[in-house]
Amino acid sequence: MAYFRITLLRSGIGLPFKTRGVLTALGLKKRMRTVYQPITQSTAGMIMKVKELVDVEEVEERSTQKQMREARKPDPGFWVERK
């Protein structure tokens, strides 16, 4: 099953109540938070309402919290050859 990976890039502060309600319905509460929603017409409609605030990608499967944390971790820049 395919999913939308939705990341909130801009805050909903100062926006109309309906727009903030759409963000809440999508599960987005904080900036830079990522959620996965199944691809449906209703989800696509909600994304279109807040398209200026979010980044959307289509992915085949969800990532776990541990996988997302590992993907954000930078390369250490060095390797220990011997102890």
Q: Is 65 helix (H, G, I), strand (E, B) or coil?
A: helix
User: At which residue do the structure tokens 């963000």 appear?
Assistant: 23
Rg (C-alpha) for the chain, rounded Å, is 16
Calculate helix-pair angle for 17-26, 41-49, nearest 10 degrees: 140
Q: What is the tens place of the pLDDT at every residue in 7-23?
A: 999 999 999 999 999 99
Task: Give the whole-angstrom CA distance, residue 38 versus residue 36.
Answer: 7
Q: Residue 77 has what pLDDT?
A: 80
User: Does the pLDDT value for residue 73 go beyond 90?
Assistant: no
User: At which residue do the structure tokens 């926006």 appear?
Assistant: 15
Q: Residue 80 has what pLDDT?
A: 78
Query: Mean of the per-residue pLDDT values for the chain?
Result: 92
> Which residues, other chains included, contact 62 with Cβ-Cβ below 8 Å and sequence gap of 6+?
3, 36
Q: What is the tens place of the pLDDT at every residue in 52-61?
A: 999 999 999 9
Q: Residue 23 has what pLDDT?
A: 96
User: At which residue do the structure tokens 């390369």 appear?
Assistant: 75
